C-alpha cells in the first residue's frame, strides 16, 4: 500500500503521515488515551527517518497490540535526525475496535521525502 502526504514543514509532514497511517488501521475516534508509549528513532536523512517512524508505529500496533489515538512529535536535527514520539492509545480489543484492514501491515518498506516549493511531500510503501 502506497501512502502520500504533504505539509509546510517536516514536523507537520510526519504528523500528517502518522495520522494517515493510523487512520488506515483503525478509527482513532473510537480509541481512548489509556496508555502512553514512547518511540525514539534516528536516521541520516528525512526519508529514512519517516521510514523508521512508520515502522515504529507499526511495531506498536503489531507487537504490543496498541491502537493509537494521538501522538506528539519532537524533532531534532544535528549530525543525524532524531525523532521522539509520545503516543497515546489503548490495547486492541477486536470486539470494540474493528480494524479497517483485513491484515495488519508489517513494515514500511521504503519512504521518500522531497522538498517542494511550498514545503515537503512524502510517499511511503507499507507492506503486510
The side-by-side arrangement of strands in the sheet containing 66-77 is: 35-43, 81-91, 66-77
| Containing structural domain, residue 43 | 2-127
Tell me if residue 46 falls in helix, strand or coil.
helix
> pLDDT for 78-87, tens place per residue?
778 999 999 9
For the chain, which ranges sit under pLDDT 70? none
| Residues contacting residue 117 through CB under 8 Å, at least 6 positions apart | none
Phi first, then psi, for residue 23 (nearest 5°) are -70, -25
Cell numbers 528525512: residue: 46
The predicted structure's pLDDT at residue 103: 78
CATH number at residue 57: 3.55.10.10
Tell me if residue 31 falls in helix, strand or coil.
coil
- How many other β-carbons are positioned within 10 Å of the β-carbon of residue 51? 23
Domain count, the chain: 1
Amino acid at each position: 500500500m502506497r501512502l502520500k502526504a504533504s505539509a509546510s514543514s517536516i514536523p507537520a509532514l510526519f504528523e500528517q503521515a502518522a495520522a494517515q497511517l493510523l487512520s488506515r488501521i483503525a478509527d482513532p475516534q473510537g480509541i481512548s488515551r489509556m496508555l502512553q508509549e514512547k518511540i525514539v528513532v534516528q536516521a541520516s536523512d528525512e526519508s529514512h527517518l519517516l521510514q523508521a517512524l512508520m515502522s515504529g508505529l507499526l511495531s506498536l500496533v503489531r507487537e504490543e497490540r496498541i491502537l493509537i489515538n494521538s501522538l506528539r512529535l519532537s524533532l531534532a536535527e544535528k549530525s543525524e535526525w532524531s525523532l521522539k514520539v509520545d503516543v497515546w492509545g489503548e490495547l486492541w480489543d477486536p470486539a470494540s475496535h474493528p480494524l479497517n484492514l483485513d491484515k495488519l501491515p508489517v513494515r514500511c518498506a521504503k519512504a521518500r521525502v522531497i522538498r517542494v516549493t511550498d514545503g515537503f511531500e512524502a510517499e511511503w510503501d507499507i507492506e503486510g
